[in-house]
Amino acid sequence: MRAMKRMLRGQLASQIAPQPAYFGIETEWLHHAGVCAHLCTSQPLWRQPSGTWRCSGGTLIACRVTAVARELAQTRWQSTCQAKWRGRATIGDDARLKVDDCVGVLVLLAPPRTTVNIERGSYASELSCITAYCRTVAVFDNSSGSPAAIVQPFFPVEGSLDVMVDGARFWYLPLYDGVCRALRLHSCCCACSNQPSGCGHCTMNCWRVLKRPDGYPSGSE
C-alpha cells in the first residue's frame, strides 16, 4: 500500500497547479519558491473523456453467479427476460471492472433499498448527496441496453480509515457514466504474510479504499 501511495503522489503533483482547491490547498501556497520549483518539474497529465460503460469478456453461466445476485437482477424484469452475465465491464480503452473490484458513485443521502440512488443532476451538492463505494459482485447486460452490476456497500470502521464489506446487503447499480473505479486494498494485520512468491492475506474483512482524491484512477482516464 505504501508503494502504491508513493506512485499516486507523483501523479497528483501534476494536478495540484490547475486544481489546488480540490486538494484542500490554498492558492497562495503555490507561490512559494520551493513549491513552484517542484511543480515546474512535473508533467501535465493527458486527459480524455472516459466514454460509456459496456460489458465485455466472456459470457458466464448463471451458476457461477451468487444466487442473491441472480434473484436481485431478476426482480428488475419480467420472468421471461434473463440476465446475460459477463466477465467484466469496460469504460474507455482499458479501464476494466471485474468481480471483487471496487466502484465509487455519487448517490443521494436517502439510503437505497435494492437500487443505488445515483445522483446525476447538475444541482448535486454536498448537502444532497455523498460518494458511496461498493464491492462488485456481478456484472451483466441489462434488458434496457445499459450494463449494470450487483454490488455490496462498504461501511466505515469506527475510529479508523478502514472500511468493511456489508455482506448482508446487495444493491442493483446501473453502470451510468457517473460510476468510477476505485481500488480496494486489504488492510493487513499480523496474520497476513509477505513472501517472495506473493502476499498471503487473512480472511479479515477490513479494507482501505483508494479513490479520486487519492489519485486513483489516474487523471489520464
- pLDDT means per 10 residues, the chain with 221 residues, are 54 56 68 71 50 84 88 76 85 80 86 81 61 92 80 91 92 88 82 70 83 64 51
* Ordered domains of the chain (ranges, CATH): 1-45 (no CATH), 49-214 (2.30.30)
What pLDDT, on the 0 to 100 scale, is given for residue 58? 82
Helix (H, G, I), strand (E, B) or coil at 194: strand
What pLDDT, on the 0 to 100 scale, is given for residue 80? 60
How does 18-51 read in b/e, with b if 16+ C-beta sit within 10 Å?
A: eeeeeeeeeeeeeeeeeeeeeeeeeeeeeeeeee
Angle at 19 between CA 17 and CA 22, to 5 degrees: 135
